[in-house]
Amino acid sequence: MTTSVVQTATPPSGRTPARSSDRSRAENRLGQKLVAPAIILMLIVTAFPMLRAIWLSVYDYSLTAPDDRSFTGVDNYVTALTDPLFWQTTGVTVLYMVVTVGIELVIGFIFAMVMHRVIFARGVVRTSILIPYGIITVVSGFAWQFAFSAQNGFVNGWLPFIGADFNWFGETPSAVIAICISEIWKTTPFMSLLLLAGLAQVSEDMIEAAKVDGATWWQRLWKVIIPNMRSAIMVAVLFRALDAYRIFDNIFVMTNGAQQTESISFLTYRQTIEQFQLGLGSALSVLLFLSVLLIAYLIIKVFRVDLAAARQEG
């Protein structure tokens, strides 16, 4: 099926410098026809539900009493924004994002450097780094939850300064650490592969020249390598930060939101799917969407991320 369509697409696509306007109009039409299915599919599942969420968010609407739907204006937003729980979950979510992305950036960079330099066992390294990338997040959550479990895990036994019966999921800080570790383990490979692509862009000649001029390894790293792969770093941070802000799977599996580990995604999910509060849940959905937009905007503005470079990264 792919083949036949691409083939019919072939004739008008030759690139000649002087194009007749007929031809460019045909090319325009064909291009739009080819991207139409993708656009429609992407919009069905995002734009349309998002509009519906905005519409639902101004109603008091619960699936347990669907006939009692009433228009309430911004009440749902007021309820959400004045609830300390909303701000607490937002705070925890930002904490998850900052901690995981920060640590992943450092570890991911070290991994990328190793993968860039390694000559022997290249296949083995790449294969093993792709396993956390491909593994189901829920499985990673289980693996780490059991690892941290006082009853059946090994972490307490291996860490010298922690008692054998320490309950990691009994208090907020340790539960957050456990969740972050699972998240970091699972997503560092993605970060390091994006950084590896950036490392490959840095010219070896430049590093060699710095070496000849007497720059130490540390100076070469900070003055030559990192500035030259800035756009790759920023794109990796942008992608991962927005991904980390949506953290959900690990929390669901490891604590189910207990001990104030709930993220904003988890709160939204609980309101809509578990408690059937579609009105309030939709208001939370809209707020979640707006906060993701805000974070994307801030990262792009503050770090001046070049999105043209982002497009190249895939």
Nearest residue to 170 (alpha-carbon basis) of 139, 185, 148, 152:
148
Least distance to other proteins, CB of residue 82, Å: 20
Q: Does 30 engage in binding with other proteins (CB under 8 A)?
A: yes
Q: Residue 70 in 3-state DSSP? A: strand
Contact residue for other proteins among 85, 98, 127, 219 (CB under 8 A): 127
Whole-angstrom distance, CA of residue 58 vs CA of residue 261: 28
Which one of 67-75, 78-86, 117-125, 206-214 is the stretch in contact with other proteins (CB under 8 A)?
A: 117-125
Contact residue for other proteins among 97, 225, 232, 305 (CB under 8 A): 232
* Positions in 197-226 near other proteins (CB under 8 A): 197-198, 200-201, 217
Q: Does 28 engage in binding with other proteins (CB under 8 A)?
A: yes
C-alpha distances out from residue 54 to 89, 90, 220, 285, 309, Å: 21, 20, 51, 8, 33
Whole-angstrom distance, CA of residue 179 vs CA of residue 249: 10
Q: Does 56 engage in binding with other proteins (CB under 8 A)?
A: yes
Q: Does 164 engage in binding with other proteins (CB under 8 A)?
A: yes
Q: Residue 59 in 3-state DSSP? A: strand
C-alpha distances out from residue 82 to 171, 259, 260, Å: 25, 21, 18
Contact residue for other proteins among 77, 86, 166, 248 (CB under 8 A): 248
Which one of 6-14, 95-103, 206-214, 219-227 is the stretch in contact with other proteins (CB under 8 A)?
A: 6-14
C-alpha distances out from residue 33 to 25, 36, 297, Å: 12, 5, 31
Q: Does 50 engage in binding with other proteins (CB under 8 A)?
A: yes
Contact residue for other proteins among 59, 96, 109, 269 (CB under 8 A): 269
Least distance to other proteins, CB of residue 92, Å: 15
Cα-based angle 215, 109, 111 (whole degrees, multiple of 5): 110
Least distance to other proteins, CB of residue 69, Å: 12
Cβ distance 130 to 190 under 8 Å? no
Q: Does 31 engage in binding with other proteins (CB under 8 A)?
A: yes
Q: What x-and-dash track marks residues 272-311 binding other proteins by CB under 8 A?
A: xx----x--xx-xxx-xx--x---x----------x--xx
Contact residue for other proteins among 75, 83, 306, 313 (CB under 8 A): 313
CB atoms within 10 A of CB 293: 11
Q: Residue 60 in 3-state DSSP? A: strand
Contact residue for other proteins among 208, 256, 294, 297 (CB under 8 A): 256
